[in-house]
Amino acid sequence: MRILITGGSGFIGTNLCEHFYNKHIIYKNVDIAVPKIDRQKDKWENIDVLNYEKLQKVMLKFEPGLVINLAAQTNTALTDKHSHNVNFLSIKNIADVITAHNLNSKLIHFSSMLVNDLGTPKSELDQMNATTWYGCMKAKAEKKLQSSENIDFCILRPTSIFGPHMDAPYYELFNLSIRQLPVPYPREMGIRPFGFVGNVVKQVDEVVCNFTKYNGGTFYLMDNSDLNVKIISAKIRKHLGLRAPMSLHNLVFKCLGFCGDFLKKMGIRFPLTSARYRNLITSQSIPDYRNIRISEDQKISIDEGIVATINWMEDIKKRV
C-alpha cells in the first residue's frame, strides 16, 4: 500500500515515518517543515496542505491507498482563530480531493482529545464541547469527515503523548527533571490518559492492517488513564536517581494563577495562569473500549517509554 502522510515532519509524524521507512513501506511525507531525521528527507516534499492545487497534484500523482493526516497547529496557547485554520482546512482539502476525483484512498485523521474540554463525562465525549479555538477547529474537522460521503475514514484522538522527537510541553517536563530543577506541583491534581509515542505507532499499524474494523469510528490513543505530570515527573526523576518532586498546597498555585493572569494582560510571560491551574487539577477519563488496543507483548510500558525518551534527550545533548 502507498501511504501519503500530511504533516509527517512533526512529533508523531517523525516516529510514524521512521516506522514506515524501517518496514520498507512506500510512503510520501508532505509538509512545510523539513523532516527531523536526515534519511527521511528523500520521502519528503515541501507542500502546504492549505494549497489545494499543489495538494491535489501530489495526491493524483502519488495515488495513495491511504492518507494519514497529521497536518496541524498544535500550539493550544494561540488565541487567534485564524492561527488554527489548518486544523480544519487540512482535512477539508484532503477530503475534497478524494471526493472530486473519486480516489480509492482511505483516510486516517489525527484529531485531539481536546475536541472536548477537560472534565467532560465519558458519556458526552462525542458532543465535542471545546471552548478553545484549537479544540473548536479540531471538532469542525471531525464533523466535516463525518458528513463526507464515499470516504472510508477513521478518526484518532491522541491524548497526552510523549516520546522521542516531542516538542512542548512534554519536552520541558523531561528537560526540567534532567536539569535537576526543583519544580513543585499542586498537592492535589487531576488524572488523565497518557501514552508513549512508540505505542501510538503500533496503534496506527493496528488500524492500517485492520481498517475495516475501525472504518467510520472515532478512537483514542493512550496507554494509561491514571497519570498526571507530577506522577510522570516522579517517574523521570526516579530513573535519574533524583528525589520525587515537591508538592505545595493548591492554594499557592491558585494565587500564582491569578498573578499569571494579571501579568499576561501586561504582556509579561509567566509559567502559570488560572487556566493552566484548572488544567492541572481537572481529571479526564476515557472508556477503555474507545482505545485502540494492541497486544500486551507488543506494548511498551510507561516506564520503558520514559527511559527511551530520556536516552533520546541525552543523545541530543551529546550531539550538540
Which pLDDT band, with edges at 50, 70 and 90, does 270 fall under? Answer: confident
pLDDT in tens, 222-258: 997 789 999 999 999 999 999 999 999 999 999 999 9
The pTM for the full model equals 0.94
Helix ranges (DSSP H) in the chain: 11-22, 52-62, 86-100, 133-147, 170-178, 197-209, 211-214, 229-239, 250-265, 274-281, 302-319
Please state, in angstroms and rounded to a whole number, the distance separating the CA atoms of residues 200 and 300.
10
Which pLDDT band, with edges at 50, 70 and 90, does 168 fall under? Answer: confident
User: Quick check: 73 pLDDT over 70?
Assistant: yes
209, with CB counted inside 10 A (0-12, 13-18, 19+), is exposed
CB atoms within 10 A of CB 270: 15
pLDDT of amino acid 320: 59
pLDDT in tens, 169-206: 899 999 998 888 888 999 999 999 999 999 999 999 99
Average pLDDT score over residue span 36-62: 96
Please state, in angstroms and rounded to a whole number, the distance separating the CA atoms of residues 50 and 48.
5
Please state, in angstroms and rounded to a whole number, the distance separating the CA atoms of residues 265 and 302.
38
What CATH number should be reported for the domain whose range is 3-158? 3.40.50.720
CA atoms within 13 A on the CB side of 66: 22
User: Quick check: 308 pLDDT over 70?
Assistant: yes
User: Quick check: 61 pLDDT over 90?
Assistant: yes
**Residue ranges per domain, the chain?**
3-158, 167-192+226-320
Please state, in angstroms and rounded to a whole number, the distance separating the CA atoms of residues 244 and 176.
13
pLDDT of amino acid 139: 96
The DSSP secondary structure of 17-28, one letter per residue, reads: HHHHHHTT--EE
Average pLDDT score over residue span 298-317: 93
Please state, in angstroms and rounded to a whole number, the distance separating the CA atoms of residues 80 and 87.
13
Phi, psi dihedrals of residue 74, rounded to the nearest 5°: -100, 0
On whether the CB atoms of residues 37 and 10 are closer than 8 A, the answer is: no
pLDDT of amino acid 264: 87
The DSSP secondary structure of 2-16, one letter per residue, reads: -EEEETTTSHHHHHH
